[in-house]
């Protein structure tokens, strides 16, 4: 039976779209039941509409506190009957309300070889450090900033003076193939 998952995103949504398409073309035996975004200008919203996937917007200013916002989010996730939460460019730390309800069932993709370069602009951090081997990590989400147990990683090498835009293109291309593959392995039913 296909795993039901919801995606959390904050921006462009290219990883969200790659996951949704992987489910639609049969590469990933799962069903994306919805998208949760925290920014009104997130391009992921347009991608979801194009893919006929329901979207819910949650802005922190609409709520008294983080717990109230996450309680509302949790009700929607449960209404969609999601079994997993898949973060794809979600730029908020998930709090106790959702972590407790989905313990060991929240995953994230991060554009570095964790534990190196946690948080925002991991690519910028790696380039600033003049790293030549970059990578991607898929990990479980805990209450820290990119500190959850690592599920899998993949690395790639960059050339001296390679333009950042080309590195970003490589990174995104790799993410779009790697994330569905890792989720498939994670969700596969073992005989």
Instruction: Give the annotated binding-site residues.
Output: 13-15, 66, 91-94, 108
Instruction: Collect all residues with Cβ–Cβ distance below 8 Å to 57 and sequence separation of at least 6.
Output: 37, 38, 40, 45
From residue 149, alpha-carbon distances to 14, 20, 95, 115 in Å are 24, 24, 17, 10
DSSP H/E element including 73: helix 66-79
Q: Look up 110 and say whether it is catalytic.
A: yes
Binding site per annotation, positions for (6R)-10-formyltetrahydrofolate: 66, 91-94, 108
Helices 164-187 and 14-24 meet at what angle, rounded to 10? 40
| Catalytic pick among 110, 139, 172, 176 | 110
Annotated catalytic residues are: 110
């Amino acid at each position: 039976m296909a795993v039901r998952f919801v995606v959390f995103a904050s921006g462009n949504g290219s990883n969200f779209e790659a996951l949704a398409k992987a489910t639609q073309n049969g590469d990933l035996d799962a069903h994306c039941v919805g998208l949760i975004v925290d920014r009104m200008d997130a391009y992921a919203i347009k991608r979801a509409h194009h893919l006929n996937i329901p979207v819910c917007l949650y802005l922190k200013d609409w709520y008294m506190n983080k717990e109230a916002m996450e309680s509302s989010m949790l009700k929607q996730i449960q209404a969609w009957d999601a079994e997993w939460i898949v973060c794809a460019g979600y730029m908020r730390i998930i709090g106790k309300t959702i972590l407790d309800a989905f313990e060991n069932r929240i995953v994230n993709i991060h554009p570095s070889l964790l534990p190196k370069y946690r948080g925002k602009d991991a690519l910028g951090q790696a380039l600033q450090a003049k790293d030549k081997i970059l990578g991607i990590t898929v990990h479980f989400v805990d209450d820290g900033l990119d500190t959850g147990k690592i599920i899998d990683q993949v690395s790639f090498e960059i050339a001296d003076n390679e333009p950042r835009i080309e590195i970003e293109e490589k990174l995104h291309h790799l993410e779009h193939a790697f994330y569905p593959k890792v989720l498939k392995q994670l969700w596969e039913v073992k005989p």
